[in-house]
């Protein structure tokens, strides 16, 4: 069975969780957590590296033991170390770690004191009032736990877009190689670039007698066949993701692609337009009576309804149809529009490659500039820079720029916004920089008014350039902190500074609704990778998808500018 980076990262995370419940050596636990993060964020498949015989120890933080386990997982789909831990601990206990507010220490206490091993047992203990009696819990914590567990048990499972991409990008070529297949495409929320997807909808054009359906049913990653027929089948993969396959006639392919891309609200609006014109629209085409007048491609389907083609990311019934009718659809930003990246880390803090390695990787992508923005000293776990080390890095950037051709490194910092709104480094350290990215990395729990004022005060700093990952959310792990984003965006407009759309697939922050808000308020957005290695530039495609979902054009994106114009815009921000 093909093994993806997400599988290896999940294995290492589970090992770390179980070791922490067992109160194992903290350094050993940290090694597994770091390895999970590195593999999970890697822009290329570890499986391919193993197949090519590459040295896995070249990856940062990966030694002999972890490299051996990665090869074991790729080769066998199993990890003996994890199996050993499973034999020592209750099988469902890691599910408790998914409940907000429960770390390994609390899980261990619940297990030993209350014999809680499953989510259902946890909910029962909370309803019975037994959790509040444990040290460090209390009635409020107990109520929060019960609410979180009930929400978790009732929630429809969705997976992150980046994880879905790993499975889709293996399955599509597998199906495309089947005899008689002419075209394969993933539709649904995946094609619309939703942050999370519930399942994968795959459409195929195949000749009569094609082996594609049998090939799909026999896919190595399949765990359960839900249904199977001559033109459609549903399979649940071993990671729990449901995949639906439909074989479609070429004459109806465009209509099917439109129908299965959705969203439901967009499709209902299209059918209403068809009805108004005496037409019928379904997954087989656009019909006038019994005659199909369009269906082979999406452009023809929309044209038959009197509309221009609407990009998949816009199909949410959020004004795109009215804009199409008025010929006001945006020319959405594309990955090729980016001239550079304004948020990148190196080995100077918690990155994995040198200044030169990051520069050459960016140049290879066609970028003409790259901003080096290490963490500041407050983020001690990331070895953040103090004024002396920042000055040393600025000197190193100047020396490297003197030798580089085709790309320019910009001097920057990702400086912590402290609780009172001040910045983590003094003006004397910031004055030399081309840009200063402000970021909230602590006290996510401040009340709305205080969190908002904190950010506004930081934005008023004379050297402040860009607000990083503006809501602080981590998808499905940490909710956005409570802040007045409209007020923050309007303040950015008044101040003349910018907002980041952090393309890291765990963040995708700005939220798509805030992207549109920024556009309407005239605030430029920088689509940045937050790269910690040269492979992480691959994250930018997810940021582009997020931007396109809320109508951003190249003109709305800061780092689509050529370097001279970018320098002018950055200089204007400084007071």
Give the pLDDT score at 451. 95
Instruction: Say how many domains are in the chain.
Output: 4
Of 27-31, 386-390, 490-494, 569-573, the least confident: 27-31
What is the pLDDT confidence band of residue 156, given thresholds at 50, 70 and 90? low
Tell me which H or E stretch contains 415.
strand 408-416
pLDDT tens track for 420-458 = 999 999 999 999 999 999 999 999 989 999 999 999 999
Indicate if 478 and 545 belong to the same structural domain.
Answer: yes
What is the pLDDT confidence band of residue 382, given thresholds at 50, 70 and 90? confident
Indicate if 426 and 442 belong to the same structural domain.
Answer: yes
Torsion of CA 400, 533, 541, 436, to 10 degrees: -60
Indicate if 146 and 208 belong to the same structural domain.
Answer: no
What is the domain extent for residue 220? 159-247
310 belongs to a structural domain: yes
What is the pLDDT confidence band of residue 153, given thresholds at 50, 70 and 90? low
Indicate if 109 and 9 belong to the same structural domain.
Answer: yes
Distance CA 324, CA 322 (A): 5
Indicate if 356 and 300 belong to the same structural domain.
Answer: no
Share of the chain above pLDDT 90, in %: 63
Give the pLDDT score at 66. 94
Indicate if 289 and 389 belong to the same structural domain.
Answer: no
| Mean pLDDT to the nearest integer, 538-550 | 95
Where does a domain end: 154, 173, 193? 154
346 belongs to a structural domain: yes
Q: Are 446 and 406 in contact (CB under 8 A)?
A: no
Indicate if 167 and 20 belong to the same structural domain.
Answer: no
Indicate if 257 and 114 belong to the same structural domain.
Answer: no
362 belongs to a structural domain: yes
Give the pLDDT score at 83. 85
Residue 63 sits in a domain whose CATH number is: 1.10.150.110
Indicate if 206 and 139 belong to the same structural domain.
Answer: no
| Mean pLDDT to the nearest integer, 275-280 | 94
Where does a domain end: 103, 129, 154? 154
Where does a domain end: 247, 276, 308? 247
Distance CA 554, CA 338 (A): 8
Residue 193 sits in a domain whose CATH number is: 3.30.460.10
| Mean pLDDT to the nearest integer, 119-135 | 86
144 belongs to a structural domain: yes
Indicate if 376 and 426 belong to the same structural domain.
Answer: yes
Indicate if 69 and 178 belong to the same structural domain.
Answer: no
330 belongs to a structural domain: no
Indicate if 381 and 405 belong to the same structural domain.
Answer: yes
Ordered strands of the 222-228 beta sheet = 181-186, 199-206, 242-247, 232-237, 222-228
Outline where DSSP puts E strands in 145-290. Answer: 159-160, 181-186, 196-197, 199-206, 222-228, 232-237, 242-247, 280-282, 285-288
Of 66-75, 96-105, 139-148, 394-403, the least confident: 96-105
What is the pLDDT confidence band of residue 101, given thresholds at 50, 70 and 90? confident
What is the pLDDT confidence band of residue 411, given thresholds at 50, 70 and 90? very high
73 belongs to a structural domain: yes
Question: Which of 107-111, 334-338, 380-384 holds the top average pLDDT?
Answer: 334-338
């Amino acid at each position: 069975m093909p093994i993806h980076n997400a599988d290896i990262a999940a294995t290492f995370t589970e090992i770390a969780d179980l070791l922490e419940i067992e109160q194992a050596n903290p350094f050993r636990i940290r090694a597994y957590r770091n390895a999970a993060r590195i593999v999970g964020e890697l822009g290329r498949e570890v499986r391919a590296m193993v197949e090519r015989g590459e040295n896995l120890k070249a990856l940062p933080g990966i030694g002999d033991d972890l490299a051996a386990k990665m090869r074991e997982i790729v080769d066998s789909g199993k990890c003996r170390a994890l199996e050993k831990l499973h034999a020592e601990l209750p099988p469902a206990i890691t599910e408790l770690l998914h409940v907000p507010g429960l770390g390994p220490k609390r899980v261990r206490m619940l297990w030993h004191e209350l014999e809680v091993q499953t989510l259902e047992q946890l909910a029962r203990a909370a309803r019975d009032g037994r959790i509040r009696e444990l040290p460090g819990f209390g009635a409020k914590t107990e109520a929060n736990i019960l609410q979180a567990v009930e929400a978790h048990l009732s929630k429809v499972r969705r997976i992150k877009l980046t994880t879905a991409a790993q499975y889709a990008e293996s399955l599509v070529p597998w199906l495309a190689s089947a005899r008689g297949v002419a075209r394969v495409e993933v539709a649904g929320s995946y094609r619309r670039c939703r942050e999370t997807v519930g399942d994968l909808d795959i459409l195929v054009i195949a000749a009569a007698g094609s082996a594609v359906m049998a090939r799909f049913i026999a896919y190595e990653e399949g765990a359960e066949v839900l249904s199977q027929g001559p033109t459609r089948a549903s399979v649940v993969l071993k990671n729990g993701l449901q995949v639906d396959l439909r074989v479609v006639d070429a004459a109806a392919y465009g209509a099917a692609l439109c129908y299965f891309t959705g969203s439901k609200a967009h499709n209902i609006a299209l059918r209403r337009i068809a009805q108004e014109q005496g037409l019928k629209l379904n997954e087989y085409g656009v019909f006038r009576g019994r005659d199909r007048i369009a269906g082979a491609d999406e452009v023809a389907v929309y044209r038959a309804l009197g509309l221009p083609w609407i990009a998949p990311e816009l199909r949410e019934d959020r004004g795109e149809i009215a804009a199409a009718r008025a010929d006001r659809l945006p020319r959405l930003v594309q990955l090729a529009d980016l001239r550079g990246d304004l948020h990148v880390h190196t080995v100077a803090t918690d990155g994995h490659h040198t200044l030169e390695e990051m520069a050459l990787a960016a140049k290879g992508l066609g970028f003409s500039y790259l901003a080096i923005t290490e963490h500041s000293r407050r983020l001690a776990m990331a070895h953040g820079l103090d004024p002396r080390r920042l000055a040393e890095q600025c000197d190193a950037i100047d020396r490297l720029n003197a030798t580089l051709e085709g790309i320019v490194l910009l001097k920057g910092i990702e400086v912590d916004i402290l609780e009172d709104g001040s910045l983590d480094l003094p003006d004397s350290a910031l004055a030399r920089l081309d840009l200063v990215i402000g970021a909230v990395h602590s006290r996510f729990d401040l009340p709305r008014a205080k969190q908002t004022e904190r950010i506004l005060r930081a934005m008023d700093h004379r050297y402040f350039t860009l607000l990083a990952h503006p809501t602080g959310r981590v998808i499905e792990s940490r909710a956005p902190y409570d802040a007045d984003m409209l007020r923050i965006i309007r303040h950015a407009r008044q101040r003349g500074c910018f907002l980041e759309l952090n393309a890291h697939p765990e963040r995708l922050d700005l939220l798509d609704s805030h992207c549109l808000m920024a556009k309407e308020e005239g605030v430029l957005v920088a689509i940045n990778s937050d790269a910690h290695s040269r492979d992480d530039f691959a994250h930018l495609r997810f940021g582009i998808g997020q931007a396109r979902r809320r109508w951003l054009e190249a003109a709305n994106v800061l780092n689509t500018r050529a370097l001279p114009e970018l320098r002018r815009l950055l200089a204007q921000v400084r007071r």
